[in-house]
Amino acid sequence: MFERRHQPMISRSEFVRRLARFAAVGFAIVLGSWTVGTFGYHYLQGLDWLDSVLNAAMILGGLGPVDPITHAAAKVFASFYALYSGLIFLAVAGLIMAPIFHRFIHRFHVELDDEDRERA
């Protein structure tokens, strides 16, 4: 997936494509999570679709629910969905940052390897 330490760095255009692929995967994860939250609020709390979308987006964004939760099943769902959303935020941030961090570290290793070759 990523180039190895002794391989040359990929071109800027290939890096942008890689970054776009990782961002697309992150977007798909967020969209899927949002969908699950929307269905959960709609079917467990009985909110209409628009309110369900809003509540799921607010929880997923870390802001908290808009409507009060009254049903026991919806409270359990909201608890797990809130924990899940926090983990997803960190995971997607890491997923999107991984190519950037790898390129930075790879450039550092390529420069060190070049210095080692010059000394030899």
- Position 69 pLDDT exceeds 90: yes
| DSSP summary character for residue 74 | H
**Are the C-beta atoms of 23 and 41 separated by less than 8 Å?**
no
pLDDT reported for residue 3: 75
Q: Where are the domains of the chain?
A: 12-119
Class of domain 12-119: mainly alpha
Q: Could you give the dihedral angle defined by the CA atoms of residues 109, 114, 119 and 120, in that order, rounded to the nearest 10 degrees?
A: 100
Phi and psi angles of residue 5, each rounded to the nearest 5 degrees, phi first:
-60, -40
pLDDT reported for residue 119: 64
pTM, full prediction: 0.82
User: Using one digit for the tens of pLDDT, what is the confidence trace for 38-64?
Assistant: 999 999 999 999 999 999 999 999 898
